[in-house]
């Protein structure tokens, strides 16, 4: 039969003071957390970007209309 292995583990030091969690030590204030979240979620668009997007959409729609009319005129 096999002999059992010797377990030579070191004992755990239980004399150390407990470490307090961060939530109890340094809590995050609700107002501060909400203000930081609103800064991250704030959508910043300038009026110029809105106009450029609108012009791009209208130009694309106009190009599709022109192509459609050209295809119809070609087949008639």
Residue pLDDT tens, the chain, 76 long: 677 777 777 777 777 667 666 666 666 677 877 888 777 776 667 888 889 999 999 999 999 999 999 999 998 8
pLDDT at 36: 80
Residues ≥6 apart with Cβ < 8 Å to 31: none
Q: Which residue has the tokens 């997007």?
A: 53
For 5, how many CA atoms within 13 A lie in the half-sphere containing its CB? Answer: 3
Q: What share of the chain is helix, strand, coil (3-state, %, to 5)?
A: 60, 0, 40
Query: What are the residue boundaries of the structural domains of the chain, listed by start?
Result: 47-76
Predicted TM-score (pTM) of the model is 0.42
Q: Cα separations (Å) of 37 from 23, 41, 42, 56? A: 19, 6, 9, 32
């Amino acid at each position: 039969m096999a002999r059992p292995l010797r377990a030579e583990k070191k004992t755990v030091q239980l004399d150390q003071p407990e470490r307090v969690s961060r939530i109890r030590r340094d809590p995050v204030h609700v107002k501060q957390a909400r203000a930081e979240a609103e800064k991250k979620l704030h959508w910043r668009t300038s009026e110029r970007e809105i106009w450029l997007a609108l012009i791009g959409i209208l130009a694309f729609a106009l190009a599709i209309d022109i192509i459609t009319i050209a295809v119809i005129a070609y087949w008639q």
